[in-house]
Amino acid sequence: MSTDTLTCRDLHLRHTDTNGHATVQCHRVWDADLFLAARQREASNLNAKAVEEDAKAPQRAKVELITEADYQKARKQ
């Protein structure tokens, strides 16, 4: 029998869309680095698409890792 176990971790992230509107979310993930990189890549793709549509569009979309305390504080607002 294998002794390997899945270890999950909660990631607290602030997602900002191309309009500058930010939301916070908690994600339960197996590979935090891979998950964060994928989300940041998606934000970069959104910014690239916005620039294709309008060259003067600001690149606002981003994903940031935040602390659990910051997550709880944002949820209460």
Q: Buried b / exposed e across 4-41, counting CB within 10 Å, b at 16+?
A: eeeeeeebbbbbbebeeeeebeeeeeeeeeebbeebbe
Token digits of residue 24:
């916070």
Please list the rounded mean pLDDT of every run of 10 residues in the chain (77 residues).
Answer: 76 94 96 95 93 84 96 93
pLDDT of residue 2: 56
CA atoms within 13 A on the CB side of 40: 8
